[in-house]
């Protein structure tokens, strides 16, 4: 089954923390530049810990995600397959 990486890109109003305000679109761009298939997604309800990335299948959520942390997670997943 293909792995899907979904980055929350929600931006909340005002000063409320959100993945969009914390650079999730930049993480998506960096992952795409690395050749990782990634898509934008909705709020996961964990806004203060963003950017949040959900990995499917399995549903693992990576908090404060960076391109490097997502790539490392994907590499680790491949190593244990
Ligand atoms: S804004 Fe990303 S989890 Fe809510």
User: pLDDT tens-digit profile of 43-80?
Assistant: 999 999 999 999 999 999 999 999 999 999 999 876 65
Largest interatomic CA distance in the chain: 43
Q: How many distinct structural domains can be found in the chain?
A: 1
CA–centroid distance, residue 12 to ligand 1 (Å):
8
Nearest CA to ligand 1 atom 1: 18
CATH number, domain containing residue 12: 3.40.30.10
Please state the atom number of ligand 1 nearest to the C-alpha of residue 44: 3
Instruction: Quote the domain boundaries for residue 20.
Output: 4-80
Query: Which of 36, 29, 55 is CA-nearest to residue 44?
Result: 55
- Residue-wise pLDDT for 8-31, tens only, equals 999 999 999 999 999 999 999 999
- Per-residue tokens: 46: 């964990």
Say if ligand 1 is within 6 A of residue 6 CB. no
């Amino acid at each position: 089954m293909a792995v899907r990486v979904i980055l929350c890109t929600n931006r909340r109003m005002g000063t409320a923390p959100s993945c969009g305000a914390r650079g999730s679109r930049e993480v998506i761009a960096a992952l795409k530049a690395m050749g990782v298939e990634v898509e934008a997604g909705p709020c996961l309800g964990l806004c203060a810990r963003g950017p949040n990335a959900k990995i499917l299948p399995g549903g693992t959520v990576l908090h404060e995600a960076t391109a490097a942390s997502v790539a490392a997670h994907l590499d680790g997943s491949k190593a244990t397959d």
